[in-house]
Amino acid sequence: MANTRSAEKQERQAVKRNARNRAVKSRLRSSLKKARTAAEGGNADLSAGFSEIDKAAKKGVIKKNTASRYKSRLAKSAKRASAK
């Protein structure tokens, strides 16, 4: 339980941020799942997945290098699937 007004405000802000981050991360996971299945199926349209990754990185939910790694792995799997 918060003792001071500033601690109470910080707690309210943390709850808001937590909800926002959870929503962004959930959207990211869903779009990554869709992009992965599309890439494995041979559909090379990765722009929606890349866009969602970039949005999550911009909002600070994932770090820049993590976003880069996700995009790299997604492109790699798409290239591997299209080569088959």
CATH number for 78 = 1.20.58.110
Q: Which helix (H) or strand (E) holds 6?
A: helix 5-40
Nearest partner of 81 among 44, 54, 35, judged by Cα? 44
Amino acid symbol at 81: A
Nearest partner of 71 among 52, 38, 13, judged by Cα? 52
Structural domains counted in the chain? 1
User: What mean pLDDT do residues 44-59 have?
Assistant: 91
Nearest partner of 22 among 52, 48, 51, 56, judged by Cα? 56
57-81 tens-digit pLDDT:
999 999 999 999 999 999 998 888 8
Q: What is the DSSP string of 36-54?
A: HHHHHTT----HHHHHHHH
Full domain range(s) for residue 43: 5-83
**Tell me, what's the pLDDT at 42?**
74
